[in-house]
Amino acid sequence: MTLILFIEQVLNGLQFGIMLFLMAAGLTLVFGVMGLINLAHGSLYMVGAFAAAAVAGWTGSFVLGLAAALAAAAAAGALVELLVIRRLYDRDHLDQVLATFALILIFSEGTRYLFGSFPLYLDIPDALTGPVTLPGGIQYPAYRLAIIAIGLTIAAGLFWLISRTRLGIRIRAGEADREMIAALGVDISKLYTIVFALGAALAGLAGALVGAIQAVQVGMGEPVLILAFVVIVIGGIGSIKGALIGSLLVGLTETLGSIAMPALFRLFMDNSAAQATGSAIASMLIYVLMALVLVWRPQGLFGARV
Partner 1 sequence: MSRETILNAVIFGGLLAVPLWACIVDEPFTITLATKVAILALAGVGLNIALGLGGLVSLGHAAFFGLGGYAMGILASHAQSYTPLMESPLLIEGTKSMPIIWLMALITSALAALAIGALSLRTSGVYFIMITLAFGQMFYYLSISWPAYGGEDGLSIYVRNGFPGLNTLDPIQFFAICFALLALALWLNARLIRSPFGLALGAARQSPQRVETVGLSPFRLRLAAFVISGAITGLAGALFADLNRFVSPTMFSWQTSGEIMIFVILGGVGRLYGPVAGAALFITLEHVLGGLSEFWHIYLGLLLLLVVLFARGGLIGLIAGREVHHD
Q: For binding to partner 1 (CB under 8 A), which residues are involved?
A: 31, 35, 37, 84, 87, 93-95, 97-99, 101-106, 108-110, 112-113, 222-223, 226, 229-230, 232-233, 237, 276, 279-280, 282-284, 287, 290-291, 294-295, 298-299, 306
Considering beta carbons, is residue 183 or 294 the nearer one to partner 1?
Answer: 294
If 0-12 CB within 10 Å is exposed, 13-18 middle and 19+ buried, where does residue 147 land? buried
CB of 77 to partner 1, least distance (A): 17
Neighbours of 17 (CB within 10 A): 26
CB of 22 to partner 1, least distance (A): 18
CB of 125 to partner 1, least distance (A): 32
Instruction: Identify each DSSP E strand in 251-295 by its residue range.
Output: none
Q: From CA 173, how far away is CA 171, in angstroms rounded? A: 5
CB of 31 to partner 1, least distance (A): 6
Considering beta carbons, is residue 172 or 279 the nearer one to partner 1?
Answer: 279
CB of 124 to partner 1, least distance (A): 27
Considering beta carbons, is residue 102 or 127 the nearer one to partner 1?
Answer: 102
Considering beta carbons, is residue 157 or 298 the nearer one to partner 1?
Answer: 298
CA angle centred on 240, ends 32 and 101, rounded to 5°: 50
Considering beta carbons, is residue 9 or 38 the nearer one to partner 1?
Answer: 38
Helix axis angle, 240-266 to 221-235, nearest 10°: 110
CA angle centred on 56, ends 55 and 62, rounded to 5°: 130
Considering beta carbons, is residue 213 or 299 the nearer one to partner 1?
Answer: 299
CB of 10 to partner 1, least distance (A): 22
Considering beta carbons, is residue 123 or 222 the nearer one to partner 1?
Answer: 222
If 0-12 CB within 10 Å is exposed, 13-18 middle and 19+ buried, where does residue 305 land? exposed
CB 68 within 8 A of CB 52: yes
Considering beta carbons, is residue 65 or 235 the nearer one to partner 1?
Answer: 235
If 0-12 CB within 10 Å is exposed, 13-18 middle and 19+ buried, where does residue 153 land? exposed
Q: From CA 240, how far away is CA 162, in angstroms rounded? A: 9
CB of 12 to partner 1, least distance (A): 18
- 85: closest CA among 105, 103, 72? 103
Q: From CA 231, how far away is CA 151, in angstroms rounded? A: 16
Strands 138-141 and 131-134: antiparallel
CB of 95 to partner 1, least distance (A): 5
